[in-house]
Every structure is written in structure tokens, then in C-alpha cells.
């Protein structure tokens, strides 16, 4: 089931919240928790009921392993036994992802390299398998480290299946969520929590169905044309790539807002997963702001165990590269995702190298140090690097990605619709001058959306760089957890704050009506495929 569907907004959500608070009002807390688990499983099974078996079996096995891993439980109190159980648990979880997500990719790669004709029937990727599997791997490791304690099968099931974060994150920790599920206040309807949560949800829904889905119509034709082998000119390449850059931004930002808003309706605080990443002044800061909980998972359970920065500069850069390489592969079974991860690994290594050079020169690379011009330059360079990476992330093949990058570099020419020439010539013989430089004006440029697309790009840019994000808008109420401290950064942009009252209520209703009108054809969130 999609958050951006009539079934969810008009039927599922009102029914689930009403029954939950009705049970809670009668002090039937365990029954309310059970209801929320069943409702979350229904939410997951709406897509494909067959995969309910997979998530239930996964939960049962990981809960059982968690009980065995708990310190001091009989024979498993021995360190060697506990470590062996942890290895078995992590391996089993990774094996499930490997089979469903990467088996076909491995067979295809072997056939291409070895010239074999191995065959594997198509495997349908279970929804959210990467998210709920990583979440349970973190649980097993935390139990092994004595940082999490088993809380009973029903609450563990809610920790895994809680529908606001089940499909596309955030990847939450057991110790963040289980203490909240024990609080008696979450079972009491709170009008303020409902107002805050519903306002955040509507803002996220608007980002998705009005902004992100609009950009999808501009990005997809250009990337499809590149996949067909069409030559993509400079303006087509940049317009299509920027359209995808903002589509992905508002799609993921919208989902993250909706997840936090839905949880807030129940009085639950999920960790922040998205915090204005295009405002980052360097690539390190970008990864502190983009998919925050995945970055945290990769840091805590991969980068640090590999040695982090403790084994010298060379090993530090290698660990960064390997972590991002695997992070790219996590996003999808394809060499374009590997290339995207490798590219960001190189970006991070270069960024850390630059910081090292600055320290040797006695220049402290403070988070907000430098002039305003320096900040703008840092944001622009970081954004450019991220945009180049998105070309590989979105493209279906290497040739398509290279075609788009060639277009962005101007190697396929500069082509504009001929009506641009008429408008430019109002300022003199501008079109003649451009033609002498090699530009072309044609009747149709098929993958360029014209003035409407430029307007949407300008609106998106203004929101991204000058407006407060949702957490800053709601900062007085702190609706999301901030375990990494990213929200401590000084707000940049127009100082607007959400306040409970008539104005914001009317605005939320207006945005909701606009969303309902735009939901004539629902579209999946981009991160659903991961």
C-alpha cells in the first residue's frame, strides 16, 4: 500500500488510528500493540501477500537468535558460542538479501564474463527487504554488545513492522523504538500530536505527489532516450538530469516527512533521515544529511569494524571506498549502482584528504568556517558532484550514463527550440551570434520541457536552498529524533515556524486537497525499489 493512495489516506489511516486509540482508551495496551502489528502486516501484504511469509519467518528467527544472544542465558553465556550465533544470524540475514536481490545479477555477470548460459528464473524482489533485514542485523549486533534487550515477541514485531518506517526507512535501532512503545502516553489520543503529525504528513505528501511526480515527467523521457542510444544535447541533458535530481530529493524528502508525521500521530518519534542535503558545503556533510540512518548503519556496522580511520591514511581511504562501494550495491543490483558508490567513495576520500591538507597548513576546516562566497562555492561544487553521481544512479546502463554525461559536457551540441531565437533577438542579433558559435535552433527539441520545466526547476531550487526544511519548520516541537546531531546546525533560509492554529490548519487542508486532486494515478516512491 502506498502512502500516496486514496486507500491509505481515506480508509487505512483513519481506521488504524481510531481502533488503536479506542483500545488504548480502554487500557487494553497489549491488544492495541497487537492491532498495530496486524495492521502493519496488512499494509505490507497489500503489495504481495506471499511475502508476508518471508517477513514473519525473518522476524521469528531473528527474535529467537536475539534471545539466545542475550548475555547470561544458559549455555550461550559463553563468548565463543555467542559470537558464533551472531555470525550465523548476520550471515543468514545477508544470505536472504543476496538471494532475492543479487542472484540474478550474479548469474548475468558470470554469463557475460565467462560466456556461459546459466539460467535463473526471474526473482521478484520482496518489498523493503533491505530495510527490515538491515534493521534486524543491527538488532542482533546491539544485543550481542548488550546495547539492546529483548522485550517480548509482539513489541519486537512492532519494532520491525511499524508501518510508517517499514517500506523505506528510516533504519531504526531497537533501543530507540522499544522504550517508546512501553510509554503509556502513546495509547492516549493527543490532539497536539495529531495536529503536528498530520501537518508533517501533508507536507510530505505534497512534496511527493505535486512536486516529485511532476519532475518524473521531465526526467524519464530523457533517460529513456539515452538508453535507446539517442544523442542528448547539452540543454536536454542538464534539464533532464536536474529534473531527476529534484525528483529524487522531493520523493525521498516527502517519504521521510510522511514517515515521521505518521509516527508522530501515535506519539512516536522516528529518527531523522533527511535534512536538506543539497545545502551541504562538502560531500562529508552531504552524507550526514542524506539517508542519515543508512549512513549511520554503514558507519557503525561496516566502516568502523573495517578499522575506520584508526589504521593510517591509506587504510582510512580504502575503508571509505569499500563502505561506499557496498553502499552503492545496497541500492541496487547493477554496475551503475556500483559505479555510483565508487564515485562517492572517491569523493569522500578526496574530501578527507583536503581536510588533512588544511590541518597541516594550520587552517581549521570548521563546519561553518569561511566566507559567504566560500560557502556558496562549497555548496555549488558539492551539488555538481552529486548531480554527476545521480546520472549513474538513474541510468539503466553505462552507455546511457556516458551519453548523458557527454551531453552535459556539450559534446553532443547545444540545441534550443526555435522560439528561443525569437525571444533572444529582442536584445539584438543574439541568435545569429550563437549560431556562429555552433548552437542550433530547431522546431522541436523532444526532451526539453520548455518554459514550464524551467519554472519548476526554479521553484524547486528556491525551496531547496532558501526555505527551511520540515524539521526546522517544526523545530519547536521536535517531532523527530536527532541521534547524529544533524539538526543542531544553524538554520539557513526564510525563518518560518509552524504553530498550531487556524492559519496552519487551513494551509494543511488546502495542501491535502491539492494532493488528493493530484493522486489520480499513484506512483511508487523511488526508494521502494531498494
Active site residues: 331
Q: Which three cell numbers stand for residue 482?
A: 536527532
Contact (Cβ atoms closer than 8 angstroms) between residue 333 and residue 102: yes
Instruction: Indicate the Cα dihedral angle 173, 343, 204, 139, nearest 10°.
Output: -10
Going by C-alpha positions, the residue among 344, 277, 286, 293 that lies closest to residue 317 is 344
Q: Which three cell numbers stand for residue 449?
A: 520541457
Q: What are phi and psi of 188, to 5 degrees?
A: -105, 130
Q: Strands 440-442 and 415-417, how do they pair?
A: parallel
For 477, which DSSP code?
Answer: T
Q: Give the Cα separation of 405 and 482 in Å (integer).
A: 37
Q: Give the Cα separation of 522 and 530 in Å (integer).
A: 19
Sign of the alpha-carbon dihedral angle for 160, 165, 168, 169: negative
For 186, which DSSP code?
Answer: G
CA distances from 310 to 71, 306, 344, 392 (A): 29, 10, 21, 31
Q: Which three cell numbers stand for residue 75?
A: 549455555
DSSP letters, 390-442, are: HHHHH-SSHHHHHHHHHHHTTTT--EEEHHHHHHHGGGSSHHHHHHHTT-EEE
Contact (Cβ atoms closer than 8 angstroms) between residue 131 and residue 125: no
Q: Which three cell numbers stand for residue 40?
A: 502493519
Q: Give the Cα separation of 20 and 386 in Å (integer).
A: 42
Q: Give the Cα separation of 125 and 100 in Å (integer).
A: 6
N-terminal to C-terminal alpha carbon distance within the chain:
16
Which residues contact residue 348 at a Cβ distance below 8 angstroms, ignoring those fewer than 6 apart?
283, 284, 287, 320, 321, 324
Q: Which three cell numbers stand for residue 130?
A: 533491505
The helix, strand and coil proportions of the chain, stated in percent and rounded to the nearest 5, come to 70, 0, 30
Contact (Cβ atoms closer than 8 angstroms) between residue 413 and residue 233: yes
Q: Give the Cα separation of 226 and 234 in Å (integer).
A: 13
* Other Cβ atoms closer than 10 A to 91: 11
Contact (Cβ atoms closer than 8 angstroms) between residue 107 and residue 118: yes
What value does the CA radius of gyration of the chain take, rounded to a whole number of Å? 25
Amino acid at each position: 500500500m502506498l502512502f500516496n493512495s486514496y486507500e491509505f489516506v481515506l480508509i487505512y489511516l483513519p481506521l488504524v488510528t481510531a481502533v488503536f486509540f479506542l483500545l488504548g482508551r480502554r487500557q487494553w495496551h497489549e491488544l492495541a500493540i497487537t492491532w498495530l502489528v496486524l495492521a502493519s502486516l496488512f499494509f505490507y501484504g497489500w503489495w504481495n501477500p506471499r511475502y508476508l511469509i518471508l517477513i514473519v519467518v525473518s522476524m521469528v528467527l531473528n527474535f529467537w537468535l536475539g534471545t539466545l544472544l542475550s548475555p547470561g542465558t544458559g549455555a550461550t553465556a559463553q563468548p565463543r558460542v555467542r559470537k558464533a550465533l551472531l555470525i550465523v544470524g548476520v550471515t543468514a540475514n545477508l544470505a536472504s538479501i543476496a538471494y532475492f536481490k543479487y542472484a540474478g545479477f550474479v548469474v548475468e555477470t558470470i554469463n557475460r564474463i565467462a560466456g556461459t548460459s546459466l539460467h535463473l528464473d526471474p526473482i521478484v524482489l520482496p518489498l523493503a527487504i533491505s530495510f527490515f533485514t538491515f534493521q534486524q542485523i543491527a538488532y542482533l549486533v546491539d544485543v550481542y554488545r548488550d546495547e539492546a534487550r529483548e522485550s517480548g515477541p509482539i513489541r519486537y514485531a512492532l519494532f520491525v513492522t511499524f508501518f510508517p518506517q517499514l517500506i523505506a526507512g528510516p533504519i531504526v535501532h531497537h533501543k530507540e523504538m522499544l522504550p517508546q512503545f512501553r510509554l503509556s502516553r502513546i495509547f492516549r489520543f493527543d490532539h497536539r500530536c495529531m495536529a503536528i503529525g498530520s501537518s508533517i504528513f501533508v507536507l510530505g505528501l505534497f512534496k511527493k505527489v505535486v512536486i516529485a511526480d511532476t519532475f518524473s515527467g521531465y526526467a524519464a523521457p530523457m533517460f529513456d532516450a539515452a538508453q535507446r542510444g539517442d544523442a542528448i544535447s547539452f540543454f536536454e541533458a542538464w534539464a533532464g538530469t536536474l529534473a531527476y535530481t529534484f525528483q529524487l530529493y522531493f520523493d525521498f524528502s516527502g517519504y521521510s516527512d510522511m514517515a515521521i508525521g505518521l509516527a508522530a500521530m501515535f506519539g512516536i518519534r522516528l529518527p531523522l533521515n533527511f535534512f536538506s542535503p543539497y545545502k551541504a558545503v562538502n560531500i562529508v556533510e552531504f552524507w550526514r544529511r542524506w539517508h542519515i540512518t543508512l549512513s549511520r548503519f554503514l558507519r557503525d556496522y561496516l566502516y568502523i569494524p573495517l578499522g575506520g580511520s584508526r589504521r593510517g591514511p591509506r587504510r582510512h581511504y580504502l575503508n571509505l571506498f569499500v563502505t561506499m562501494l557496498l553502499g552503492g550495491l545496497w541500492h541496487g543490483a547493477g554496475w551503475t549502482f556500483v559505479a555510483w558508490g565508487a564515485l562517492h567513495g572517491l569523493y569522500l576520500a578526496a574530501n578527507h584528504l583536503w581536510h588533512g591538507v588544511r590541518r597541516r597548513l594550520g587552517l581549521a576546516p570548521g563546519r561553518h568556517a569561511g566566507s559567504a562566497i566560500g560557502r556558496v562555492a562549497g555548496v555549488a561544487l558539492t551539488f555538481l558532484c552529486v548531480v554527476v553521481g545521480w546520472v549513474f544512479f538513474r541510468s539503466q546502463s553505462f552507455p546511457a550514463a556516458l551519453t548523458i554525461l557527454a551531453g552535459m559536457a556539450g559534446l553532443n551540441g547545444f540545441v534550443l527550440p526555435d522560439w528561443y531565437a525569437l525571444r533572444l533577438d529582442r536584445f539584438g542579433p543574439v541568435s545569429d551570434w550563437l549560431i556562429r558559435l555552433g548552437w542550433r535552433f530547431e522546431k522541436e527539441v523532444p526532451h526539453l520541457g520548455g518554459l514550464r520545466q524551467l519554472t519548476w526547476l526554479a521553484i524547486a531550487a528556491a525551496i531547496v536552498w532558501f526555505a527551511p526544511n520540515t524539521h526546522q519548520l517544526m523545530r519547536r516541537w521536535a517531532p523527530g529524533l536527532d541521534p547524529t546531531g544533524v539538526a543542531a546546525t544553524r538554520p539557513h533560509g526564510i525563518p518560518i515556524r509552524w504553530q498550531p492554529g487556524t492559519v496552519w490548519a487551513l494551509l494543511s487542508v488546502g495542501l491535502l486537497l491539492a494532493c488528493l486532486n493530484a493522486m489520480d494515478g499513484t506512483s511508487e516512491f523511488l526508494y521502494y525499489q531498494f
